[in-house]
Structure 1
């Protein structure tokens, strides 16, 4: 068995987290799309840009597809995204199909397109996932997410999660981190629903009326997740802003 590469490990982690999000239906209101405020709030924080992840997911119920069709769909999506140097991989069993392509788009972002299909007794389901990863410069989120919505619309209802990651030099004091989080919550008009503060980590899950999409989490509406943590190896304090939840490890 070959060793998984960095990108495959990252998409694997995303899928593990996404499996929980799939069980949570997305809802929407008449508020603005989440992209309108998240990017501006991140820039307002004055954090140094580190990376961004945009993950799109479409679910197809009551359908199982084999490797041939999954491969066809993967290449079709890759062509629409103008993916360059795409590398195809597959993992196929009797009742399970997994096909994924990793490559670069013209802007330089790394993109992984993955299709998973499985059947068990009377249950059949297929999932299409597109993972955008960029660590050179901020992309214009709104246009990209609109493109992903349109691209996956023919396959099924599409949900998109966004995560922006930035850094501050050195080990920020706890009070300084709280001020950064508080300023972000104020900019996005976020009401805290659940908070975790221990050691080097602060993590807030909240809800904002300014953001259109939301999920039901523990009986509450949530659509913003803000976290900060100090990394002593890099001597930097990291900031994550995710909607509706952070879908990368922190």
Structure 2
């Protein structure tokens, strides 16, 4: 439980320092899928992480479970299949569930309520991961966005899809692969980091309809290519607005 609580707090702190710009229309996530398919890499996994904050709310456990049930139901999980993990301390309540939906996707939901010095707030954190299927990523994003928007107009969602090639690619291919993904998405590069077995590009594309402001710049695309000596694989990660996971 300590690890889950730390993850939730880290995510909340991370998104709190970024300003989100919401745009109308389609998300553009289908563009990410199209570009990923063109890399011809082997699919490894995808993740969608969502968060909203409810100000001036310190919820009872039944209210928290109702939110968790609603989020699980949209991903094909019945409330009767859920095992609720409850934690309660002075001024703090948390309910957590983690369940597979039978479609190769694991759904985790955390609802935290805090009360301190007359300040009440509740955080809803949703995490969807799969290493079996990925074409549902666009629909799953929309479901998450629609439900979380019922609780707050400010919804933070981070998505990442990863693939791999067997073995180590040539050194010059790291930049070529990452830059080609940026080119196909008509993205402008704003920042890069690289070493012998790793490259990461961050930037902005109009093809994705939402962005964050990071270091004074619009950002909604993060691409990384790295080699794992332990697994003897070269991994590709495509994330929006940033890659919000360890890799």
Distance (Å, rounded) in 1 between the aligned partners of 2:12 and 2:35? 24
The farther-off stretch of 79-88 and 207-216 is 79-88
Taking structure 2 as the reference length, the TM-score comes to: 0.90
Give per-residue Cα distances to partners, 1:43-88, cap 9 Å, x unaligned.
Answer: 1111110000012222211212233322232233323433153222
Q: 1:14 to 1:36 in 2, by over 3 A?
A: farther
Trace 1:125-204 onto structure 2 (pairs within 5 A): 125-157=121-153, 158-204=155-201
Partners in 2 of 1:12 and 1:44 — Cα distance?
Answer: 37
8 Å contact from structure 2 (residues 42, 163) kept in 1: yes
Equivalenced residue count is 244
In structure 2, what is the Cα distance between the partners aligned to 1:39 and 1:207? 17
Q: Give matches, 1:1-250, under 5 Å.
A: 13=7, 16-29=10-23, 33-83=27-77, 85-157=81-153, 158-250=155-247
Unaligned runs of 5+ in 1: none
Aligned to 2:181, what secondary structure does the other structure show? helix
Structure 2 segments unaligned to the other structure (5+ residues): none
Query: Secondary structure, in 3 states, of the residue corresponding to 1:87?
Result: coil
Q: TM (normalized to structure 1)?
A: 0.89
| Per-residue deviation, residues 213-237 of structure 1 (Å, max 9, x unmatched) | 0001011110001111111111001
Q: Please say if residues 224 and 244 of structure 1, whose CA atoms lie closer than 8 Å, have aligned partners that are also in contact.
A: yes
Report the Cα offset of residue 42 of structure 1.
0.8
CA contact (8 A) 2:171 2:196 kept: no
1:129 deviates by 1.6
Distance 2:225 2:24 in 1: 30
